[in-house]
Amino acid sequence: MHVSEALRARQSTRAFLDRAVERARIERILDLARHAPSGVNIQPWEVAVVSGARKRELCDRIEARFRSGERGAPEYRYYPSQWQGVFRQRRKACGLQLYSALGIGRDDRQRQNEQWAANYRAFDAPVMLLFFMDSSLETGAYLDYGMFLQSLMLAALEEGLATCVQASLAEYPELVRAALGYPSEMRLIGGMALGYADSSAPVNGYRTPREAVDSFTRFFD
Q: What's the pLDDT at 48?
A: 98
Q: What's the pLDDT at 215?
A: 96
pTM of the model: 0.95
CATH 3.40.109.10 fits 3-75+120-199, yes or no: yes
Contact 191, 172 (CB under 8 A): no
Contact 128, 168 (CB under 8 A): no
Q: What's the pLDDT at 200?
A: 95
Q: What's the pLDDT at 84?
A: 96
Strand partners, 190: 131
Largest pairwise CA distance in the chain: 58
CA dihedral of residues 145, 97, 86, 216 (deg, nearest 10): 60
Rounded to whole angstroms, how far apart are CA atoms 60 and 64? 6
Rounded to whole angstroms, how far apart are CA atoms 19 and 195? 8
- Residue 120 CB burial class (10 angstroms; 0-12, 13-18, ≥19): buried
Residues in the chain: 221
Rounded to whole angstroms, how far apart are CA atoms 198 and 13? 9
pLDDT tens series, the chain, 221 aa = 889 999 999 999 999 999 999 999 999 999 999 999 999 999 999 999 999 999 999 999 999 999 999 999 999 999 999 999 999 999 999 999 999 999 999 889 999 999 999 999 999 999 999 999 999 999 999 999 999 999 999 999 999 999 999 999 999 999 999 999 999 999 999 999 999 999 999 999 999 999 999 999 999 99
Q: What's the pLDDT at 120?
A: 97
* DSSP structure class, residue 36: S
Contact 144, 38 (CB under 8 A): yes
* Residue extents of the structural domains in the chain: 3-75+120-199
